[in-house]
């Protein structure tokens, strides 16, 4: 399914004969929304459905959307002219909508269910082995090594099935090179068969587990702090209680953890009381906003791989097939990630472990500059080859160049994803509460937001070219466009973002690393008690004064 969506741009320009700008907008829009909707899917999973029912719903939506896309494929050799206006008379938009929603709802359950099905029977402290259950199999593993063992088993299972899916996709792409209807139908059937296989094991799953979301906790903390913003208090705790104190950073939120009177036991149900842990988690989420804003450009550069890179490969002769270029991109992604861990990761962790994620992201952002620069040079060479043959104005002409020229930019794109993408995931994994569930969600949402912004950035480039040079850099086809200049604009954007990232990353505090849930201590709320003080001295000062003091009150 991933391979089909990666090449959606070819379907829009070849089968539906859409203009380059229209096809790019549709591809970026569906990919951006599919990633951004994951954060709403996560909230829905935690509050209502759970992982299993969301996976069933997403598979049904995915299959239905692919069948509708298959019905929208024009018969014969495709549209003789632009089909954009005729799309409203087909099932294209309905199918694309279902694919977007189904794709957003399927990623999180697939990732989470792999780890949710692992069970560990806790044994006494004096017992060395622990029983580990993976599906229907049980193993005995030493204490401390069970987590690594489970991850290793799951990783190998996922690797085997992904390889099977990749080989099947590559074979289908070669066998049905221009038959998009068969591609959509086969993907829909494969997803539906996978759903039936999943339902066979449905009775063996445990009960549904709903849990609070860090986003809902943040919203409740902000509302509670706003409602009790009038409170004035001071925190005076002994040295032994410093672990239970609120930090001075963003102290306006501290009032959310203040209990005004002992009778207010049900305030949490009315969004008026939060624990100290919840307040500090909210501060962590607010602290990562400036750092997260610099990750958006990563999503903008990544969107080039699903749009302009695909169109470049379609207008070049022979050489390396596009599907192999995408496979090399995936290999480069994995190799860059592994290479960083072997060469730099361990050394940085030995010196200053907390800076490892920041360095990895920075190297990935530098790689994005190289990716866009190489793509610009290759596109300039392609346009010169077309001009030399007198084919520059022919929208269907293929440049007398091999697609192997695109190999380097696909390698750099994969390296950027392996370094910056994995670094962003690790960053959220270290500094986001409940990171195992929400680190991939935040990473995908920021990537999707960058993909959406890429549409606006291309529109700005188009307006600038029309205003300055009286011609559009984005024509109806790749041969009538100036992708080399668009890539240079992305180079300048990536360079600017690197400087901004260096400034923000250097000033960010890397000390607030989230610990494991089992190591977190229970943090109390702060109770406000009213005390009456009678002033001694002048009669004018004999009025009763109220003083707020904070006392620790243990809560669950």
Q: Domains of the chain, with CATH numbers?
A: 1-117+146-202 (1.20.1250.20), 275-511 (1.20.1250.20)
Name every residue whose Cβ is closer than 8 Å to that of residue 481 and which is 6 or more positions away in sequence.
Answer: 20, 472, 473, 474, 475
**Among residues of the chain, what percentage have pLDDT more than 70?**
70
What is the Cα–Cα distance from 98 to 103, expressed in whole angstroms?
Answer: 8
Choice between 349 and 400, residue whose per-residue pLDDT is larger: 400
Categorise residue 258: left if φ over 0, alpha if ψ from -120 to 50, beta otherwise.
Answer: beta
Average the pLDDT over each of 15-24, 214-223, 266-275 and give the range with the smallest value: 266-275
Please provide residue 530's backbone torsions phi and psi, each rounded to the nearest 5 degrees: -90, 130
Residue 409 confidence (pLDDT): 93
Residue 414 confidence (pLDDT): 93
Residue 376 confidence (pLDDT): 94
Q: If you average pLDDT over each of 192-206, 292-306, 522-536, which comes out highest?
A: 292-306
Q: If you average pLDDT over each of 230-239, 244-253, 489-498, which comes out highest?
A: 489-498
pTM of the model: 0.77
Choice between 514 and 276, residue whose per-residue pLDDT is larger: 276
What is the Cα–Cα distance from 524 to 509, expressed in whole angstroms?
Answer: 25
What is the Cα–Cα distance from 411 to 325, expressed in whole angstroms?
Answer: 8
State how far Cα 67 lies from the chain centre.
Answer: 27
Choice between 89 and 371, residue whose per-residue pLDDT is larger: 371
Choice between 219 and 534, residue whose per-residue pLDDT is larger: 219
Please provide residue 535's backbone torsions phi and psi, each rounded to the nearest 5 degrees: -70, 145
Does pLDDT of 370 surpass 90? yes
Q: pLDDT for 95-154, tens place per residue?
A: 999 999 988 888 777 766 765 555 444 444 444 555 555 555 555 555 455 666 666 777
> Shortest CA distance to 396 belongs to which of 309, 314, 484?
314
Does pLDDT of 218 surpass 60? yes
Interhelix angle 180-200/51-72, nearest 10 degrees:
160
Residue 458 confidence (pLDDT): 93
Residue 166 confidence (pLDDT): 72
Q: pLDDT for 497-555, tens place per residue?
A: 999 999 988 887 666 555 443 344 433 444 443 333 333 344 444 333 333 333 333 33
**What would the mean pLDDT of 197-213 be, rounded to a whole number?**
74
Average the pLDDT over each of 48-52, 310-314, 386-390 and give the range with the smallest value: 48-52
Q: If you average pLDDT over each of 158-167, 283-292, 426-435, 533-542, which comes out highest?
A: 283-292
**What would the mean pLDDT of 469-489 be, rounded to a whole number?**
89
Does pLDDT of 29 surpass 80? yes
3-state SS class at 471? coil
> Shortest CA distance to 507 belongs to which of 355, 280, 284, 353?
355
Q: Please spell the DSSP secondary structure of 390-446, one letter per residue.
A: T-TT-TT--EEEEGGGGHHHHHHHHHHIIIIIHHHHHHHHHHSTTHHHHHHHHHHHH
């Amino acid at each position: 399914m991933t391979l089909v969506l990666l090449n959606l741009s070819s379907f829009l320009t070849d089968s539906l004969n859409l203009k380059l700008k229209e096809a790019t907008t549709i591809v970026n829009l569906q990919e951006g929304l599919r990633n951004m909707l994951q954060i709403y899917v996560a909230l829905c999973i935690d509050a209502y459905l759970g992982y299993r029912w969301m996976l069933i719903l997403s598979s049904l939506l995915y299959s239905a959307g692919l069948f509708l896309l298959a019905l929208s494929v024009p018969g014969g050799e495709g549209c003789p002219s632009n089909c954009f206006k005729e799309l409203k008379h087909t099932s294209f938009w309905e199918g694309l909508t279902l694919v977007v929603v189904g794709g957003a709802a399927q990623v999180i359950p697939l990732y989470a269910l792999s780890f949710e099905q692992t069970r560990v029977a806790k044994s006494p402290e004096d017992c060395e082995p622990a029983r580990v259950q993976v599906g229907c199999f049980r193993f005995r593993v030493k204490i401390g090594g069970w987590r690594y063992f489970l991850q290793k088993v799951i990783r190998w299972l996922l690797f085997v099935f992904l390889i099977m899916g990749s080989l099947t996709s590559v074979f289908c792409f070669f066998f049905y090179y221009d038959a998009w209807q068969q591609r959509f139908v086969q993907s829909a059937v494969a997803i539906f068969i996978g759903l039936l296989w999943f339902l066979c094991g449905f009775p063996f799953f445990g009960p549904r587990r709903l849990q609070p979301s860090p986003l809902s906790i943040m919203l409740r903390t902000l509302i509670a702090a706003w409602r009790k913003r009038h409170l004035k208090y001071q925190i005076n705790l002994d040295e032994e209680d410093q672990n239970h104190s609120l930090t001075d950073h963003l102290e306006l939120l501290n009032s959310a953890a203040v209990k005004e009177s002992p009778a207010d036991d049900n305030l949490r149900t009315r969004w008026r009381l939060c624990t100290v842990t919840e307040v500090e988690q909210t501060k962590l989420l607010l602290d990562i906003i400036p750092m997260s804003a610099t990750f958006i450009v990563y999503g903008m550069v990544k969107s080039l791989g699903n749009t302009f890179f695909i169109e470049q490969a379609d207008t070049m002769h022979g050489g390396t097939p596009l599907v192999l270029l995408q496979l090399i991109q995936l290999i480069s992604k994995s190799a860059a990630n592994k290479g960083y861990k072997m060469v730099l990761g361990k050394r940085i962790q030995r010196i200053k472990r907390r800076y490892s994620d920041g360095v990895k992201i920075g190297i990935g952002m530098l790689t994005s500059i190289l990716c866009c620069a190489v793509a610009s040079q290759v596109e300039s060479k392609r346009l010169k080859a077309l001009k030399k043959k007198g084919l520059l104005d022919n929208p269907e002409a293929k440049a007398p160049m091999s697609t192997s020229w695109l190999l380097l930019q696909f390698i750099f794109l994969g390296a950027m994803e392996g370094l910056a993408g994995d670094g962003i995931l690790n960053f959220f994994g270290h500094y986001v509460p409940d990171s195992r569930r929400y680190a991939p969600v935040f990473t995908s949402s920021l990537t999707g937001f960058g993909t959406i912004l890429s549409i606006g950035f291309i529109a700005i480039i188009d307006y600038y070219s029309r205003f300055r040079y009286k011609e559009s850099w984005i024509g109806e086809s790749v041969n009538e466009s100036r992708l080399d200049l668009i890539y240079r604009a992305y180079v300048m954007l990536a360079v600017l973002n690197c400087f901004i990232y260096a400034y923000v990353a250097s000033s960010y505090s890397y000390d607030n690393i989230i610990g494991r849930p089992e190591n977190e201590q229970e943090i109390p709320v702060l109770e406000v008690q009213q005390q009456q003080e009678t002033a001694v001295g002048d009669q004018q000062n004999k009025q009763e004064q109220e003083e707020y003091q904070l006392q620790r009150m243990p809560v669950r």
